[in-house]
Amino acid sequence: MSAPSPHRYRWLLHIDLDQFQVAVERLRSPDLVGEPVIVGGNGDPTEARKVVTCASYEARAQGVRAGMPLRSAYRKLPDAVYLPLDMPAYDAASAQVMDTLRGFGHPVEVWGWDEAYIGVGDLDEPDHAAGSAHEQHEQIGDAQILQIATDIRAAVADRCGLASRVGISDNKQRAKMATGFAKRDVTGVASGLSLDLPPKVFLLDARNWNPLMGGSPPIDLWSVGPRTADKLTDMGITTVDALVATPREVLIERFGPHQGNWLYVLCRGGGDSTITVEQWEAKSHSKSRTFPADLTDPDQIATAATELTDELLDQVRAEGRVAFRVAVTVRTSTFYTRTKSMKLPAPTTDRDAIVPNVAGLLTRFDEGRPIRLLGVRLDLVPGDEQNRADEQNREVTS
């Protein structure tokens, strides 16, 4: 299979999901809305060498940040809700978002669970009967691209239950920085633009680059880290305008040809305008349910787990995939969360082979603890391995 080729686009949209992991947890447990929530490690804030991976805005207001040791977060906010990482749940939520983005018909380049780029107005398309690519992308003006961004935010909220911000520009770096302005809720008429921007959306391009970025420190440029910023300060370069005024050869002499040329381009608002679409494949699917009243009856718990398993199997079969491992997650009324998993005897989507293993995993949890959330996950055989197995089976039976 040949590697996907990148295409250049007139508009690059950067979509960033708000407090993603916390938001997913709040979808499962709505009573967490408004509470300071911190996700990291196994949810034990006293555990050594574990860090915060996501903090709610309520926790951030108290100084908790991603990358902070969980113990430090606990000293700041001992009464916050601490939750463990649930990778399959985040994989599933992210996949739903990315599928929603692809549904708009534009190429999507995924950059992680909570962010992606969309290209609009292909500059590399050849001429055809409907007109050249240049003629087509010229028709996509400010109003149209702002409407696309607004529609994307609405679709992600409606279909996935997640809030997002969208930055718009003509390259990835500037679009990423535009998302920063969107996060600050900079609305209304932006400097240099004669248009009103929708909430949570920001457009940053050559028209408003200098008014908005010229007086900013170089570290505000995306991809400029603290070490590079310190070197620039040592050179007397403390603003983007000062960096623009620095000759290219001076930057190359100090930083080398690669980084020196990159800084010269970046401070002028330049960057990468390509999108590379790579085929995405889910590694697992999971379903979970938060109950309005904690479950304590074993029969109710078993029934709920079976219902989740049936829903999962419908999804897996519809995609033509096969499961090789099953896992069950239980969250108690005290928010203590544990996951038990086992490898299936053979890859399958046979209900009679999977449901009893789910029931068996349930017996490995402490009985009698009230269950507020129950989840089931199926890990899937990678598509290429499954295809090879299918081909071998056909050869044997032919």
Say if residues 366 and 353 touch (Cβ distance below 8 Å): no
Would you mind telling me the total number of residues written for the chain in this entry? 398
In sign, the C-alpha dihedral spanning 22, 27, 28, 32 is positive
* 115 is known as an active-site residue: yes
| Structure tokens belonging to residue 132 | 């050249």
Looking at residue 219, the DSSP 8-state letter turns out to be G
Q: Catalytic one among 115, 135, 391, 395?
A: 115
| Structure tokens belonging to residue 129 | 């009967």
Tell me which residue of 259, 234, 239, 233 sits closest to 248, measured CA to CA: 259
Cα–Cα distance list, 240 to 171, 226, 270, 332 (Å):
18, 15, 13, 51
Looking at residue 51, the DSSP 8-state letter turns out to be B
Burial of 323 (0-12, 13-18, 19+ CB in 10 A): buried
Return the number of other C-beta atoms located less than 10 Å from residue 233's C-beta. Answer: 13
Where are any strands of DSSP class E within 94-227?
Answer: 108-112, 115-122, 164-169, 188-189, 196-197, 201-203
Catalytic residue set: 115
